[in-house]
Amino acid sequence: MSQLEIKDLHVRIEDKEILKGLSLNINEGEIHAIMGPNGTGKSTLAYTLMGHPNYIVTQGEVIFKGQNVLELEPDERSRLGIFLAFQYPVAIPGVTVANFLRTAINSRRRAENPEDKGMPIPEFRKLLKEKMSMLKMDQTFAGRYLNDGFSGGEKKRAEILQMATLKPEIAILDETDSGLDIDALRVVAEGVNALSGPELGVLVITHYQRLLNYIKPHFVHIMLDGRIVESGGPELALHLEEQGYDWVREKHEEIAA
């Protein structure tokens, strides 16, 4: 049995059906990439997996570690080990990066053990320092308000920092590469690679093959109009880079129309 199983997922936003029967299985330690034209529902999939209330599941199943994810609240999903790095991270003025992360870690600990007193501050400082240097983030970031005035690249690093401190079992990265300069792209990818391994499944959503030179996927999927229409290995991404999406649309004309 796969660790994450998405079966025939149908999702609508307001009155519009966006996902139209999407199926995908991710096993422990596997890296999957999803590519696809703008507006095909990639972020919709990410938000739905995390439990955003605007996304209404009308049909299908999502099972993670044997549990029905769709009946869980977003914080329960997070504690179960699902993590989403947002395409557009929101700023939280008034809450520092350090406080935000510490609150997240402690609320998880408390959910597991109501008696838990929280991670001791020296231990937290050490963890944060270690993860920030891994991501080549200046230590002063810890004291800044989360994403407030962060550059595009800094926001993406802050997302990976959250991932590094929360240690999820499945991480969904929604265009974490967009807006990154070459050095930042490498740093972020190295961060993801440092965390990936047999305990972490990764779902990377990207428009560019370039990212996949750094985060090497085991599987690449192409989405078109709310469904996965092609699946293959890394060569599929290279093919897309060269050929664009026309051949996909032609091959799946009945869907594209």
Ligand X SMILES: Nc1ncnc2c1ncn2[C@@H]1O[C@H](COP(=O)(O)OP(=O)(O)OP(=O)(O)O)[C@@H](O)[C@H]1O
Judged by the rule CB under 6 A, the positions of this chain that interact with ligand X are 13-14, 16, 18, 36, 38-44, 54, 87
Query: Which residues make beta-bridge pairs with 205?
Result: 34, 174
What separation in angstroms does the CA of 133 have from each of 42, 77, 113, 162? 31, 28, 30, 13
Residue with the CB atom nearest Mg ion in the bound state: 43
Least distance in angstroms from the C-beta of 87 to Mg ion: 5
Distance of CA 150 to the CA centre of its chain: 20
47/238 Cα distance (integer angstroms): 27
Least distance in angstroms from the C-beta of 177 to ligand X: 12
Give residue for tokens 């230590």. 139
Task: Confirm if 10 and 16 have CB atoms less than 8 A apart.
Answer: no
Distance of CA 23 to the CA centre of its chain: 17
Residue 223, token pair as written in the block: 């989405």
Task: Confirm if 142 and 51 have CB atoms less than 8 A apart.
Answer: no
Least distance in angstroms from the C-beta of 55 to Mg ion: 13
Least distance in angstroms from the C-beta of 100 to ligand X: 25
Helix, strand or coil for residue 245? coil
45, exposed or middle or buried, with CB in 10 Å at 0-12, 13-18, 19+? buried
Map residues 29-68 to x or -, x wherever contact with Mg ion holds by CB under 5 A: -------------xx-------------------------
Using the minimum distance from each CB to Mg ion, give the nearer residue, 59 or 87: 87
Please identify, among the stretches 86-94, 115-123, 132-140, 221-229, the one whose residues bind Mg ion according to the rule CB under 5 A: 86-94
Using the minimum distance from each CB to ligand X, give the nearer residue, 32 or 42: 42
Least distance in angstroms from the C-beta of 70 to ligand X: 18
Using the minimum distance from each CB to ligand X, give the nearer residue, 53 or 114: 53
41's contact among ligand X, Mg ion, none, with CB below 5 to 8 A by partner kind, is ligand X
Query: Which residues make beta-bridge pairs with 35?
Result: 222
Map residues 87-106 to x or -, x wherever contact with Mg ion holds by CB under 5 A: x-------------------
Q: Point out which residues bind Mg ion (CB under 5 A).
A: 42-43, 87
